[in-house]
Amino acid sequence: MTSKIKKQKQIFSLLNNRFSNLLEANDPGESFSFEKSEAASGISGQNLLINKVYNFYKSIIQNMNSGLIAADLEGDITFVNQTAGNMLGFNREELLQKKIDDLFSNDDESQKCLRLLLLPGKRIDDKEVKFKKKDSTNILVGLNVSSIHDENNNFDGIVMLFRDLTEIRELKLQVERMERLALLGELSAGIAHEIRNPLAGIKASAQILQDGVDNDKLQNQIIDRIVREVDKANRLLKEFFKFAKPTRPNLKFHDIELIIEGVHLLLKSNFQNKNIEFVTEYETGLPKIFVDDTQIEQVIINLFLNGIDAMLEGGKLKIKVFKKELSVLENDPGSLGHPNGKLDFVILQIIDSGRGIEKKNLEKIFNPFYTTKADGLGLGLSICSRLTQENGGKIDVHTEMGNGTTFSLALPAFVHN
Amino acid sequence: MEDIKRLLIVDDEETLTFSLYQTFINVPVECEVLTASSGEEALARLQEGHFDVVITDIAMPGLNGIDLLSMIKSRTPETKVILITAYGSDEREELAYQKGAEKYIEKPFDLHEIRDLVVNLLS
């Protein structure tokens, strides 16, 4: 215990030294200027100053809203503030008997955190982890961890700062529930709209037939239209179910060039008819992507067709493919649970030279049933977004009125579930 | 001799427009029936000549039926406008009447009902 108290004093002494340097640099800020004159009055004045600074930091650290725990290289807890104790249900003395591994509710999680710290310059920012409370329940915290170095810059331990995320998580869940309800409302309204339109056509046509049509040609025309409207309603429902419940992706490694070239071949006549030039730019040494090739092909077909539709008077559809390392954040859609690590993705950019998307419409384009096309169902991009997520990827859009639109797909080049 | 009445049907749903057209070219009121598949096309028709009745869908890409109604009412307030919609809500209905709609009808509707209403307005 004595060594732990010594360690606490060392931490404060470190902080105090930094503060004294600030004073000497004549840049203490107005609120501390009185301390400088006291410091100047000799050794007793210096002690007084040190005590004041010590108490100042102590009161900040003990009263801050976040929990603070420091540990030495053996993992023994050397310092805790009051908030940490309150959050975890222990008193400070009890915590000072523990090792930091004891705090984590999941051993793997604690090992991951500690391993990261062995790498020079590595820190952990805002990672969501669960700590074990005294009553054996868990508490979700946002954890920041950084290393402590001694006066010779040797790694000397770690300091963990954490805040209680229980309330934030509750709020987040509440918002998600509300968003789901809003989406459900939006979807129901969208389906109602898309089904009632063909129904209106079918009913009106049937009533014309009911009233009697003496022209055979017209009668057949009306019957054809009824059949067409039924097919249209059915097509909508099929598309909708594709959106609502896509099949589980069959993930394997695939060559993205082959997928793109396959789609181009399929849509070759669309490019030619609209006088659109197809240009590709592949970075050399691209890794294979770990996706369901049929689903990603569907996404690319949709994005190519959108690009073609955006270029009314011809133009150029440029495809740029390159490798990029991206952070995979936990709790992010499409996330794969890697702790702040960076992983290889293949970025596919589909750049059209069309009219661009108006800013006011941009946030709606991924919503189901949103469309600006006369014959569109408004499900294309929402399906693209859903399928990309299901395949562990991300979709993004950048647009400028008059300067075209770029859709970017980030597709994983690593094994994931 | 009395002027021939004019009716404009506006909807991007081709089958419904076709059915309404077939219905109104056979009503016992002498009237000219024209169709448009978008709000913009309807505006162009309205600029070419006066219409006694306009039947318009609300949700169309581009100019929607509510905005078209406002434009018609500001230019020719005597034109009767019937709004039809597959996306019904109390708020929309209230808004339609506030902007001067003659009638707000939800899809799918009874063809005879809309026929009788329009014949009545044209007579």
Judged by a CB distance cut-off of 8 A, whether residue A208 touches chain B is yes
Q: What is the mean pLDDT of residues A275-290?
A: 94
Residue A130 touches chain B, beta carbons under 8 Å: no
Whichever domain contains B109, its CATH number is: 3.40.50.2300
pLDDT (0 to 100) of residue A1 = 46
Q: Do B61 and A373 touch (CB under 8 A)?
A: yes
Q: Are A330 and A337 in contact (CB under 8 A)?
A: yes
**What is the distance in angstroms between the Cα of A192 and the nearest Cα belonging to chain B?**
7
A94-103 core/surface letters (b: 16 or more CB in 10 A; e: else): ebbebebeeb
**Token code pair at residue A121:** 């310059």
Structural domain total, chain B = 1
- Which chain A positions have a beta carbon within 8 Å of B105's beta carbon? none
Among A6-15, A24-33, A118-127, top mean pLDDT goes to A118-127
Which helix (H) or strand (E) segment is A395 a member of? strand A394-399
Give me B121's structure tokens.
Answer: 């307005």
- Model confidence band, residue A178 (pLDDT cutoffs 50, 70, 90): confident
Average pLDDT, chain B: 93
Q: Do A228 and B15 touch (CB under 8 A)?
A: yes
Residue in this structure with the two tokens 């508490």, named with its chain if needed: A139
Q: Coil, strand or helix: which one is A86? A: helix
List the single residue in B19, B59, B84 with the smallest CB-CB distance to A205: B19
pTM of the entire predicted model: 0.54
Residue A31 pLDDT: 35
Q: Which domains does chain A have, with CATH numbers?
A: 2-163 (3.30.450.20), 169-244 (1.10.287.130), 252-412 (3.30.565.10)
Whether pLDDT at A352 is above 90:
yes
A319 to chain B, any CB pair closer than 8 A? The answer is no
Q: Do B87 and A193 touch (CB under 8 A)?
A: yes
Query: B22 and A222: CB-CB below 8 Å?
Result: yes
Token output for A399: 């647009």
Q: How far, in Å, CA of B115 to CA of A403, rounded? A: 48
Q: What is the pLDDT of residues A185-241, one digit of tens each?
A: 777 777 888 899 999 999 999 999 999 988 889 999 999 999 999 998 998 888 777
Contact (CB<8Å) A193/B106: no
Give kind and range of the element (H or E) at residue B104: strand B103-106
Tens digits of residue pLDDT in A13-23: 555 454 444 44
> Does residue A116 carry a pLDDT above 80?
no
Identify the domain containing residue B44 by its residue range: 5-90+97-122
> How close does chain B come to A175, measured CA to CA in Å?
25
Tokens of A304: 């190519």
Q: State the burial class of residue A392 (Cβ atoms within 10 Å of its Cβ: 0-12, 13-18, 19+).
A: buried
- Which of B19, B61, B106 is facing A201, going by the closest CB pair? B19
Q: Which of A187, A194, A197, A218 has the highest number of chain B CBs within 10 A, making it the mutation to test binding with B?
A: A197
* Chain B neighbors of A202, CB-CB under 8 A: 15, 108
A121-154 pLDDT tens trace: 677 888 888 999 999 899 999 999 888 888 888 8
Cβ <8 Å between B22 and A208: yes
Quote the pLDDT of residue A186: 72
Q: How many CB pairs under 8 A join A and B?
A: 76
The answer to whether A199 contacts B108, with C-beta atoms less than 8 Å apart, is yes
Quote the CA–CA distance of A366 and A379 in Å, as a whole number: 8
pLDDT at B107: 94
Whether the CB of A371 is below 8 Å from some CB of chain B: the reply is yes
Q: What is the pLDDT of residue A230?
A: 95
What three-state secondary structure class fits A400? coil
Q: Is B103 exposed, middle or buried (0-12, 13-18, 19+ CB in 10 A)?
A: middle
B100 CA: distance to closest CA in chain A (Å): 23
Check pLDDT > 60 for residue A336. no
Find how far residue A152's CA is from the centre of its chain.
Answer: 39
> Mean pLDDT of all residues in chain A?
82
Chain-centre distance for alpha carbon B87: 16
**Averaged pLDDT, A152-172:** 86
Are B109 and A194 in contact (CB < 8 Å)?
A: no
Q: So what's the ipTM on this one?
A: 0.89
Q: Can you tell me the distance from the alpha carbon of B119 to that of B27, in angstroms, rounded to the nearest whole number?
A: 7
pLDDT in tens, B57-91: 998 888 999 999 999 999 999 999 999 999 878 88
Q: Tokens for A409?
A: 């797909």
Judging contacts by C-beta atoms under 8 Å, the chain A residues touching residue B14 are 201, 225
What's the whole-number mean pLDDT along residues A323-344? 60
Residue B14 clears pLDDT 60, i.e. is over it: yes
| pLDDT tens digits along B43-61 | 999 999 999 999 999 988 8
Q: Does residue A359 carry a pLDDT above 70?
A: yes
Chain B residues with CB inside 8 Å of A225's CB?
Answer: 14-15, 18-19
Cα-based distances in Å from A396 to A213, A333, A348, A350: 53, 13, 10, 11
pLDDT reading at A401 higher than 60: yes
Mean pLDDT, rounded, for A149-172? 86
Chain B residues within an 8 Å CB radius of A218 = 22
Instruction: Please give the pLDDT value at position A27.
Output: 39
Whether chain B has a CB inside 8 Å of the CB on A315: the answer is no
Residue with the bigger pLDDT between A117 and A237: it is: A237
Helix/strand number for chain A, H first, E second: 13, 12
